[in-house]
Structure 1
Amino acid sequence: MSPKTAKPVAFADRYQSVLVPVIFEHWARELIRRSAPQAGEHVLDLACGTGVVTREVAKLGLNLGSQVAVDHSADMLKVARRLGSPDAHDIEWLQAAVGALPFEDGRFDLAYCQQALQFFPDRLAALGELHRVMKKGGRVAFCVQQGLAVNPMLRAQARALDKHVGEGAGSAVRAICGLPDGDELRSLFEDAGFTDIEVESVTLSLHHPDARAFAAGAMGGMHTGDKLSGLDGDRIDAAIEEFLTGLGDCYDGTAMRFPHVSNVVLATA
């Protein structure tokens, strides 16, 4: 189906089908590689979305103490539960706010949070709450998007939305890049009580074989809602063409290959 005739898709389903395979699976694997979960550890996936980090950890086949995934969105958790994991059947999927986690002090050995800290309404309070539920010496691994200047795919999205949907429509994309500074990240973790803080700029080279399909899905599934719904077909086509043009050398006429740059934070509770 073309974007003109396709039926509306719920955001959580679109997020899972469009963004997770292209972006979030790769960052999940990067965080797991850097943090090396161990058998017996109790692992938390904070702001888990549709559960990609949890599923990737489960694929390792470790005999974990427990796996818990938390998100504020019932819709995201519905998709996460539906997908589940053939590698682990005792994952806890819990709906909770990051600033009020329903766990006792010192519960977890390892916690992940990918591409979500920038959206937290009170980042320091959320990190303080995470510190509370970590064991002393427990590890955390975060990735947080850097700015539009170093992320051409997101820059192209923001410009296309602003031009063809309306001024400010690209704000959902700019929010993804709302915490780009490594020094600010370090200060947040320090103020929340973490130590041994490492902040590293990391670039992943990501790919989609059909850039036009990705554009329709991604711009129609931002965190603040479907930005293309309600537009007529010609305006949707124009927005997609603007996105493809904005990719520049990242687009070969069919596929897209683009750098995706984030800060990776490793710290100890």
Structure 2
Amino acid sequence: MAPATFAYRYQSVLVPVIFEPWARELIHRADPREGEHILDLACGTGVVSRQVAKHRANLGSLTGVDHSSEMLEVARILAEEADLDARWIEADAGALPFDDDCFTLAFCQQALQFFPDKPAALSELRRVLKPGGRVAACVQKELEINPMLKAQASALDAHVGRSAGDAVRAICGLPDGDEIRRLFEDAGFQDVEVEATTLILHHPDAKAFAEGAMGGMHTGDKLSGMAAGAIERAVDAFLVGLGDCLDGPAMHAPHVSNVITARA
């Protein structure tokens, strides 16, 4: 993995702070069983898959799907390093390349809000799950109750431009639990539960995290091409925006998402 790639920055900066804690939360909710066939939808660099393998041995199969070949390449490398037997498939969530009734459990972490056709993606997810199969997902709630993202959006607005801040706001683009419930039910899911859930995210060096997060977020590096002084001012604005989430050099920020569980 070349450190300069976006997927590497995403994996090294954002995954340990944000996506590993949420992966563990989803796995706790779903409690994977031995022999299960698991789909990691919009898997990114494969964090849910790696955490599932740590949680439960003797899985039936483990399949990660993402639209980004760069993310999947990092997932493959990390899986090989961990001696993890998994398939990594490049595909669109709205057109999954699987037969009906393939999986018993699916995870989808912080991705539904980005799917261009959410009903199609959820219908496809329902199709590839066996009857009674389970899904565990999470989707970011409003920007106003997520201080880390709010600080990031504000800093980007002020120092890069509104379109850069909009990329962060898109992370919070599907905050309504009732809307999410309707989407799942309309796709044919049953026993749909949506619960607002808060995790406290930690990093011992908030400045290092801010520098990395601005260049490793879901939507790409928003600081590329800027002069060093301008980058420093944007990072400083991010830190000021964190306010009470700073404890000396460290960051302890609440991160609020809707957690969804449902059955096919």
Instruction: Give me the TM-score of the superposition, normalised by structure 1.
Output: 0.95
Q: Does 1:55 align with 2:50?
A: yes
Equivalent runs, 1:74-89 vs 2, <5 Å: 74-84=69-79, 89=84
Query: Which residue of structure 2 lines up, in the alignment, with residue 149 of structure 1?
Result: 144
Q: Pick from 20, 25, 28 the counterpart of residue 23 of structure 2.
A: 28
Query: Which residue of structure 2 lines up, in the alignment, with residue 111 of structure 1?
Result: 106
Consecutive unaligned residues in structure 1, runs of 5 or more: 1-6
Q: Does 1:67 align with 2:62?
A: yes
CA shift at 1:8, angstroms?
7.7
Equivalent runs, 1:219-258 vs 2, <5 Å: 219-258=214-253
Query: Which residue of structure 2 lines up, in the alignment, with residue 175 of structure 1?
Result: 170
What number of residue pairs does the alignment pair up? 263
Q: Does 1:217 align with 2:237?
A: no
Aligned residue for 1:206, secondary structure, equals strand
Consecutive unaligned residues in structure 2, runs of 5 or more: none
Contact 2:79 2:85 in 1 (8 A): no
Aligned residue for 2:162, secondary structure, equals coil
Aligned residue for 1:263, secondary structure, equals strand
Contact 2:33 2:56 in 1 (8 A): no
Change (3 A) 1:41 1:160: same
Contact 1:58 1:85 in 2 (8 A): no
Change (3 A) 1:201 1:150: same
Query: Which residue of structure 1 lines up, in the alignment, with residue 187 of structure 2?
Result: 192
**In structure 1, what is the Cα distance between the partners aligned to 2:189 and 2:159?**
44
Query: Which residue of structure 2 lines up, in the alignment, with residue 164 of structure 1?
Result: 159
Instruction: Give me the TM-score of the superposition, normalised by structure 2.
Output: 0.97
Q: What whole-Å deviation, never above 9, does each CA across 1:176-199 have from its counterpart, x for those lacking one?
A: 101001000000000000000000
After superposing the two structures, state which structure 1 stretch, 78-87 or 172-181, moved more.
78-87
**In structure 2, what is the Cα distance between the partners aligned to 1:252 and 1:222?**
23
**In structure 2, what is the Cα distance between the partners aligned to 1:265 and 1:97?**
21
Q: What whole-Å deviation, never above 9, does each CA across 1:183-230 have from its counterpart, x for those lacking one?
A: 000000000000000000000011000111111110112233211111
CA shift at 1:87, angstroms?
5.8
| Superposition RMSD in Å | 1.3
Change (3 A) 1:56 1:184: same
**In structure 1, what is the Cα distance between the partners aligned to 2:4 and 2:147?**
26
Aligned residue for 2:64, secondary structure, equals strand
Contact 2:191 2:262 in 1 (8 A): yes
Aligned residue for 2:72, secondary structure, equals helix
Aligned residue for 2:55, secondary structure, equals coil
Report the structure, 1 or 2, having the larger helix content: 2
Query: Which residue of structure 2 lines up, in the alignment, with residue 3 of structure 1?
Result: none
Contact 1:205 1:260 in 2 (8 A): yes
CA shift at 1:20, angstroms?
0.2
**In structure 2, what is the Cα distance between the partners aligned to 1:236 and 1:8?**
19
1:82 partner letter = I
Query: Which residue of structure 1 lines up, in the alignment, with residue 130 of structure 2?
Result: 135
Q: Pick from 61, 86, 91 the counterpart of residue 91 of structure 1.
A: 86
Contact 2:50 2:84 in 1 (8 A): no
Q: Percent identity?
A: 68
Q: Does 1:268 align with 2:260?
A: no
Contact 1:58 1:88 in 2 (8 A): no
Contact 2:14 2:217 in 1 (8 A): no
**In structure 2, what is the Cα distance between the partners aligned to 1:176 and 1:39?**
33
Query: Which residue of structure 2 lines up, in the alignment, with residue 4 of structure 1?
Result: none
